Structure 1
Amino acid sequence: MKKAFRLFMLLALVMVPLLSACGKSTSNDAGNSPSNSASTTPSSSASSSPSGDTTKKFKVGILAPAVTHGWVAAVAYHAENRAKELSNEIEYKLQTSNNAEEMTAQLDDLMTWGAQAIVAFPQWEGMEVPIKRALDAGIKVVNFDIVINADGVYRVAGNNEDMGVQGANYIVNKIGKEGNVVMLEVPSSGSVSELRKKGFVDTLKQIAPNMKVQTYATKFTREDGLKDFADILTKNKKIDAVYSMDDETSIGVLQAIKEAGRTDIKVVTGGGGMQEYFKMMPENKDIWIQSALYSPAMVKDAVDVALKVLKGEDAPKETIIPTTIVDRDNYTQFIDDKSPY
């Protein structure tokens, strides 16, 4: 009996590791091995698409100026938000720059990254050559706002000339066909200022040929609007209206008027769609404050055009968004507390 018992115990000790090893092997065969789990994902993707890949996204680059102006900041904000909304279809990179040279280098980086489309918002001259290089490489380019002289570029912009037309009509509607108007142009903004000026001047010639217009140069900042208009006020004892092309400039103009204690000015126009400027409209009962809406949110349309082109869908070569006039009669319709501008 003792011999039989010892033999039984010896067999039991041998069988334990064997059974344990068999248990481990069974667990792996059930689907926990790395090789087995790795093979299921690609086969699942391939079965849902004839091409074998439904997760591929289009690569879209976005080029914008560095923040020197509230409107510019809002362009980058809205562009990125739209790209995030389309994240199931596109992969994006947003780059901001301080000058044409920096933007050119960033465009080269986007080409190296493999961008299939680029939404470009250049604010300087000299971008035609690098944009042409991208086009020659087969990259789709959607130009936002300022005109780029290169064949094959898609363009999305507001109607700059119509902003000038609407500004002229608004001033005549408020002060009549005769008076003294100061026009603040911004030569450094290129086609933006040129087109707004053209619309304003041409329209005044048609509807109020006796209107006296004096033109001064400034910039799209409230600091320049304040500084330049303070000087203009000392040179002009009677001003009936101010044709300003930009909301930021207009805020500076209004501050200069207030500090000078002037009560002769009855209209100050603007442009862009700035929330702070909208909220000033009802506060100034003696001055009609107007903005020709040129919303930075239009850049969303530029991102949409880029995606349409990449998907092979029809997209217009040029998308021009109509002008909307905002003043104290309708400003509440355009208040957006989430807007960065």
Structure 2
Amino acid sequence: MYKKALSLLLAGAMASTLLACGSGAKSNSETTKTEAAGTEKAEAAGTEKAAEGEAEGGHIVILTAPEDHGWTGAVATFAKEKAEEINKEGKYTAEVITCDDASYQIHQIEDMISKGDKSLKGIVIQPIDDTVQSGIQQIIDAGIPYVAFDRIIDGVSDKAVSNVKGDNEGIGAGSAAYFVENGLKPGDKVYVYEGDTSSVTSLRNKGFTDYLTGEAEYDGKKIADDKKWTEDDLKKVTYSGAMNWSRSDTKTAFESLLGEKSNADYKWIYAEDDELAMGIIEALNGGGIDESVKEQFLSNKPFITGCGGLEDMYSAIRGDSYQDLVSKMGGLMSVTYSPSMIQTAIQDMVDHLEGKEVTKDHVIECVNVTKENVKDFKSFN
């Protein structure tokens, strides 16, 4: 499959490529534009040999999740950027394939393996969900090295070259530490906007509560003994249920929350993604909340956290947008969970093929991004 992709899309000269599978397939006109742009890049870089699949080191395939919202879309962008870099260097060829569902991702794996092409030297995969374990097992059985990214499947993780992911527990711990640093006391009311029902959400919840009870640390430090929470204190933490990583769903949910005036006393809002945090900000900036309730909520100087690195969020943190609203808040913060981590996963595969030592469990440390340090961090759209 990937040979066809290279010959059809790269036209013998493209530096990198992205195939949209399933319902996300591009139109013919879009594909033509992609071919032309890729050809120009390849010719400019002198990578005709790499584009033709003749690189001495062989071929690397990168399978990512669908481009259905900002973070995953940015993963594909960073993956293409890294693939282009590899193709320009000329030792290996690299190809990025995005798929809209798990069954198609498994099909891609089965198709590649069935070809038995010896030029396929490694696969980097961001599994759509846990059902992709069957496909990954086929990669393992075929003796093809693989690197897992973001969604790590426990049943096959020990066979990976490396498992690259952000620190989901660290995101929760970072948010809790930020709240405590700004005055959160044991038993204060906290509202958590959850992403979905996956292990990602469970880990972000766990990191948050574990920091408060003294079981986890952030930035090498644990909560002070006199600020630790008890199990009874944790009953003051309210969870939204799955927001499906959706800004609009969170906006609607927050408007509903403040539809009850008694909820205007919430001061600590932990959103488990920047999209969710932006849903809250848009709700506060819009007309869906009674102005008197909104005024009461903001009078508490609320603190809102997200994570990811979304430019909309960083812009608000910098003070470039929503200036009046943010000025009335206690603070706005985003924990890093950059989609650029896919480039670390791809580099891990290259390093493995080069015979270099690779970290097996490659967890990318997270950092709290505030108005004081936001200029030091790169965002994504």
Scaled by the length of structure 1, the TM-score of the pair is: 0.78
Give the Cα–Cα distance (whole angstroms) in 1 for the partners of residues 104 and 81 of structure 2.
Answer: 23
Q: Give the AA of the match of 2:369.
A: V
1:258 aligns with 2:285: yes
Q: Which residue of 2 aligns with 1:320?
A: 363
Once the two structures are superposed, residues 194-245 of structure 1 have per-residue CA deviations (whole angstroms, 9 ceiling, x without a partner) of 1111000111233442462111111212112212222222242321111111
Give the Cα–Cα distance (whole angstroms) in 2 for the partners of residues 213 and 131 of structure 1.
Answer: 38
Q: Which residue of 1 aligns with 2:45?
A: none
Q: Which residue of 2 aligns with 1:152?
A: 159
Give the Cα–Cα distance (whole angstroms) in 2 for the partners of residues 208 and 242 of structure 1.
Answer: 19
Q: Structure 2 residue aligned with 1:224, among 229, 239, 249?
A: 249
Q: Give the AA of the match of 1:186.
A: G
Q: Which residue of 2 aligns with 1:246?
A: 273
Residues 84 and 239 of structure 1: is their aligned pair in 2 closer, same or farther, counting only changes over 3 Å?
same
Residues 64 and 265 of structure 1: is their aligned pair in 2 closer, same or farther, counting only changes over 3 Å?
farther
Q: Which residue of 1 aligns with 2:221?
A: none
Give the Cα–Cα distance (whole angstroms) in 2 for the partners of residues 97 and 265 of structure 1.
Answer: 43
**Is the contact between residue 71 and residue 272 of structure 1 (CA under 8 Å) also seen in structure 2?**
yes
Q: CA deviation at 1:258?
A: 3.0
Q: Which residue of 2 aligns with 1:68?
A: 68
Q: CA deviation at 1:265?
A: 5.4
Q: Structure 2 residue aligned with 1:201, among 209, 231, 243?
A: 209
Scaled by the length of structure 2, the TM-score of the pair is: 0.71
Number of matched pairs: 284
Q: CA deviation at 1:246?
A: 0.3
Q: Structure 2 residue aligned with 1:286, among 328, 335, 341?
A: 328
Q: CA deviation at 1:330?
A: 1.4
Give the Cα–Cα distance (whole angstroms) in 2 for the partners of residues 247 and 161 of structure 1.
Answer: 16
Q: CA deviation at 1:117?
A: 1.1
Q: Where do 5+ consecutive residues of structure 2 fail to align?
A: 1-53, 215-226
Give the Cα–Cα distance (whole angstroms) in 2 for the partners of residues 112 and 326 of structure 1.
Answer: 46
**Is the contact between residue 105 and residue 128 of structure 2 (CA under 8 Å) also seen in structure 1?**
no
Larger radius of gyration: 1
Q: Give the AA of the match of 2:258.
A: L
Q: Which residue of 1 aligns with 2:79?
A: 79
Q: Structure 1 residue aligned with 2:136, among 131, 134, 137?
A: 131
Q: Which residue of 1 aligns with 2:19?
A: none
Q: Which moved more, 1:178-187 or 1:129-138?
A: 178-187
Q: CA deviation at 1:162?
A: 1.0
Q: CA deviation at 1:268?
A: 0.8
**Is the contact between residue 175 and residue 240 of structure 1 (CA under 8 Å) also seen in structure 2?**
no
Q: CA deviation at 1:55?
A: 4.4
Q: CA deviation at 1:186?
A: 2.4
**Is the contact between residue 241 and residue 265 of structure 1 (CA under 8 Å) also seen in structure 2?**
no
**Is the contact between residue 60 and residue 92 of structure 1 (CA under 8 Å) also seen in structure 2?**
yes
Q: Which moved more, 1:136-145 or 1:279-288?
A: 279-288
Residues 269 and 144 of structure 1: is their aligned pair in 2 closer, same or farther, counting only changes over 3 Å?
same
Give the Cα–Cα distance (whole angstroms) in 1 for the partners of residues 75 and 86 of structure 2.
Answer: 17
Give the Cα–Cα distance (whole angstroms) in 2 for the partners of residues 93 and 110 of structure 1.
Answer: 12
Q: CA deviation at 1:335?
A: 4.6
Give the Cα–Cα distance (whole angstroms) in 2 for the partners of residues 141 and 230 of structure 1.
Answer: 44
Determine what percentage of the aligned residue pairs are the same residue.
Answer: 27
**Is the contact between residue 239 and residue 265 of structure 1 (CA under 8 Å) also seen in structure 2?**
no
Instruction: Map 1:75-224 onto structure 2 (within 5 A).
Output: 75-87=75-87, 88-112=90-114, 114=117, 115-149=120-154, 150=156, 151-153=158-160, 154-178=162-186, 179-188=188-197, 190-206=198-214, 207-209=227-229, 210=233, 212-217=236-241, 218-224=243-249
Give the Cα–Cα distance (whole angstroms) in 2 for the partners of residues 159 and 226 of structure 1.
Answer: 26
Residues 90 and 222 of structure 1: is their aligned pair in 2 closer, same or farther, counting only changes over 3 Å?
same
Give the Cα–Cα distance (whole angstroms) in 1 for the partners of residues 137 and 150 of structure 2.
Answer: 17
**Is the contact between residue 195 and residue 201 of structure 2 (CA under 8 Å) also seen in structure 1?**
yes
Q: Give the AA of the match of 2:238.
A: Q
Give the Cα–Cα distance (whole angstroms) in 1 for the partners of residues 251 and 181 of structure 2.
Answer: 26
1:271 aligns with 2:310: no
Give the Cα–Cα distance (whole angstroms) in 2 for the partners of residues 97 and 61 of structure 1.
Answer: 13
Secondary structure at the aligned position of 2:94 is classed as: strand
Secondary structure at the aligned position of 1:187 is classed as: coil
